[in-house]
Copies of this chain bind each other. A is one copy, B any other.
């Protein structure tokens, strides 16, 4: 999800309607680096659309994922977090402040196979204490 117009064009091309609710969800996601969960998105959208329902949130998120414009993270147990940045990168979960932080540092791994299994995708989840929390503890 780079910019609103590109996402809108892709939705149109795939014959999805551009409802105000969807537009609001897209606007909340574009450039969002907080990796929100569905309920964080719901809470934000509810300010503009007090009648919004979770089905609308989940339906829109599903569409964006299927279009490849949104990425699901399983870095927290039993909870999905969403990342509108679909460029290859990894994630760090701070166990103190609970933030999910993008890791753009390249990990030396490029091959298309591992042990003869064909890789379509891979995720690296780091767990620890982020630099801000480390400072705070000192």
Q: Residues of B contacting A108 with CB < 8 Å?
A: 107-109
- Known contacts A72-B77, A77-B72; decide if A120 and B127 are in contact (CB<8 Å): yes
| A55-91 Cβ-contact flags toward B at 8 Å (1 or 0) | 0000000000000000010111111100000000000
Q: Residues of B contacting A128 with CB < 8 Å?
A: 117-121
Query: Closest chain B residue to A76 by CB distance?
Result: B74
A122→B123 CA distance, assembly (Å): 10
- Copies per assembly: 2
Which of A9-17, A26-34, A45-53, A129-137 lies at the binding interface? A129-137
Query: Closest chain B residue to A132 by CB distance?
Result: B117
A100→B21 CA distance, assembly (Å): 38
Q: Residues of B contacting A39 with CB < 8 Å?
A: none
Q: Is the CB of B72 within 8 A of A74?
A: no
A107→B74 CA distance, assembly (Å): 20
Given A103-B115, A123-B124: 4 more A-B contacts, CB < 8 Å: A74-B75, A92-B114, A101-B115, A122-B126
Which A residues are within 8 Å of any B CB, using their own CB?
72, 74-80, 92, 94-95, 101, 103, 105, 107-109, 114-131, 134
